[in-house]
Homo-oligomer: A and B are copies of this chain.
């Protein structure tokens, strides 16, 4: 019945990931007065009296989100924790606990899961969060990881996607595009190894990019930096799906437009040179690449002096009235509408 090719049935690919979530959750009602923010931000927010609790969850499926052909299990465990912590930081909250659920087929020996958990334990230790529970079960195929992170913050400090105002400055931490290029490098080496198993990949020249892909870090330091600078972002999101997609999320949630300046987008020299090698446009890679786990946020103009010149932060544009749309101002000065090139989990399958 479920596999019926009835033309009245709607293919999931028609909606895309965000459309599907919107559609499925629209019928849900909220009755708990403690629910401050439900679906539609980096984390849900619950009022626990005096402070706010953030909760976020991510599911990672082998063959969809990771390929064990070139992803060491320890790195996978590390990254799976970090991407959830990144969502908590993106609310300007401090993560404290995580749960880890795992489904694996019997093709995995215990030693493989020990590797995975060593990465989970390492990330927990480095970020100071406790693994407090989870579930372990078998799957029919491959590995599925589902991680949930909890965090806490002061109500007046919590940063939603919806708080940006016209003229707020758009700021990004670190640099962009590295994780996507790291994946391209890994895929290229993996193809060579498949043809010639004796090939010894030498990824040394691409170390920065490969590390960005396999072992990203959540910007705990940036949250501490903003606290130190006494800057509370008016809105914030982490960059998991590419700069363009995340900017559009901020604009849509805040009811604003935006001007993003191409020449301000921070790129590492290794990103620029590797883009040349792969014949890729570096701006497009930054806009659409994803998985950088940098923080994208807006600040009131009065806070500009506090962030100006900080090597960790780059002002890349500003918010505008909604009617002006979300635009990229190219190096030549022309204005190009931004499109959601964010990764679509249902595309191409």
Contacts and interface: CB of A to CB of B under 8 A. Distances in A.
A31 interface: yes
Interface in A46-68: 46, 48-51, 53, 55-59, 61-65, 68
7 contacts: A14-B110, A39-B133, A44-B97, A48-B152, A57-B134, A106-B346, A136-B345
Which of A63, A96, A112, A138 has most B Cβ within 10 Å?
A: A138
A180 B190 CA distance: 47
Contacts of A133: 38-39, 43-44, 55-57
B139 A144 contact: yes
B68 A110 contact: no
A106 B10 CA distance: 10
Given A137-B65, A140-B141, A55 B99 contact: yes
Contacts of A107: 2-3
Contacts of A63: 140
A268 to B, nearest CB: 29
A146 interface: yes
B125 A29 contact: yes
A267 B240 CA distance: 52
Contact of A50 (B38, B49, B62): B49
Q: How many copies does the complex hold?
A: 2
Given A32-B97, A103-B59, A136 B21 contact: yes
Interface residues of A, number: 92
A116 to B, nearest CB: 8
Contacts of A201: none
A230 to B, nearest CB: 25
Contact of A136 (B11, B17, B105, B117): B17
Contacts of A114: 23-24
Interface string A284-319: 000000000000000000000000000000000000
A179 to B, nearest CB: 18
A61 to B, nearest CB: 5
Interface string A112-135: 111001101100110011111111
A57 B111 CA distance: 24
Given A2-B107, A107-B3, A135-B58, A130 B345 contact: no
A101 interface: yes
Contacts of A51: 48-49
Interface string A174-186: 0000000000000
